[in-house]
Amino acid sequence: MSNNNASPILGVIFGMIAGAAWGLAFLIPSMLSNFSSLEITLGRYLMYGLYSLLLFIIYKKNPLHIPPRVWYRAMLYAFTGNIGYFFFLVLAIKYTGATITTLIIGTLPIIISIVGNLLHKEFPFKVMVIPAFLILVGIYLLYSNEQGDISSITVSKSSVLFGLLCCIIALALWTWYGISNANFLKKESEVSPDLFSTIVGVQTLTLVFIALLISKLTNQQIIGNLLGKDYFYHYLLGIIVLGVIASWVATWAWNQTSIRLTVSIAGMMIVFETIFGLLYSYFYQSTFPSVLEMVSIVFILTGVTFGIWRINTYQKSYN
């Protein structure tokens, strides 16, 4: 494969770019508080799909020249990495609360690294004990001073359990996507990572149209309600940023990371999504991070850096 000799440093840089793009998904929804999570989610992926379709047409790609297995995989990833993941994430936040949900989803870097290593046996697990501990401590500190927990949610115990189930489903979906997507790109020679980002976007558009059709059949007037709301142009600008940057650019950069790094190291790059999300929030609110937040970010970055160093050192010594 042509990317085998690609620099791991470049993979880390692309991982940071993906995190910077994904981090916008923390900021933009808070700026569009007049709109529901469903409206923002569908708008985001509609723009992602339309932008991908436009690129597909501009580059004159013939869909018949792309193997069916690629379209099938793209549809799976459009659901697990985009629509399905965010659908269950929104439900989890609604029924369990943002803090608990974020804490669970925040373990994604560790979960992907562990599961990826279980599948590929890239290194002994003892290599990752200290880095994983540092990252988990950082994630815990990051959200330990957040407001709100299960006790503040005025819903039944069964609803909270349902929210936790949705959170676990979202975690499982993205874990499978992150690992499967990386493996697929490393083995697939018919399409480049750039083109595959676009194909996933086209398939995401298909899922959005299906969702809009279902809403129409069930008399959910999503589009009509949107057009009648104030600040619609703010919404339009927001979903363009989410669709093009937080979705297409993020997926493109993540694919570049996936082909340059092992699954375990690539998984750790996801922490940059949280870090950039926080930085955007500080900038938007014109505030500075607290001492506890600064310490947590140091823990996370130290864990990621130390983990990459430990894995690379081990692999060099045994190759």
The predicted pLDDT at position 241 comes to: 95
Which of 13-22, 129-138, 301-310 has the highest mean predicted lDDT (pLDDT)? 13-22
- Confidence tier at 5 by pLDDT (50, 70, 90): very low
Dump pLDDT digits (tens) for 190-199: 888 889 999 9
Per-residue pLDDT at 4 exceeds 50: no
Position with higher pLDDT, 20 vs 135: 20
Percent of the chain with pLDDT over 90: 29
Dihedral sign (CA 285, 101, 201, 4): positive
User: How many Å is the Cα radius of gyration of the chain?
Assistant: 20
Side chain identity, residue 9:
I
In this prediction, residues 22-43 reach a mean pLDDT of 83
- Confidence tier at 168 by pLDDT (50, 70, 90): very high
In this prediction, residues 135-140 reach a mean pLDDT of 83
Q: Which residues contact 145 (CB under 8 A, 6 or more apart)?
A: 290, 292, 293
Dump pLDDT digits (tens) for 193-225: 889 999 999 999 999 999 888 877 776 666 666
State the Cα–Cα distance between residues 139 and 271, nearest whole angstrom. Answer: 9
Q: Which of 259, 99, 93, 266 is nearest to 167 (CA)?
A: 93
Dump pLDDT digits (tens) for 72-95: 999 999 999 998 888 888 788 778
Per-residue pLDDT at 169 exceeds 90: yes
CB-based contact 113:175 (threshold 8 Å): no
Burial class (CB in 10 A: 0-12, 13-18, 19+), 74: buried
Dump pLDDT digits (tens) for 97-126: 766 777 788 788 888 888 888 887 777 878
CB-based contact 83:206 (threshold 8 Å): no
Dump pLDDT digits (tens) for 42-63: 899 999 999 999 999 988 777 7
Alpha helices in the chain (DSSP H): 8-22, 24-31, 37-58, 68-78, 84-96, 98-105, 108-120, 129-144, 157-187, 193-217, 222-227, 232-243, 250-260, 263-268, 271-285, 291-318
The predicted pLDDT at position 318 comes to: 66
Lowest mean pLDDT among 124-128, 176-180, 265-269: 124-128
Please give the mean pLDDT across all residues of the chain.
Answer: 83
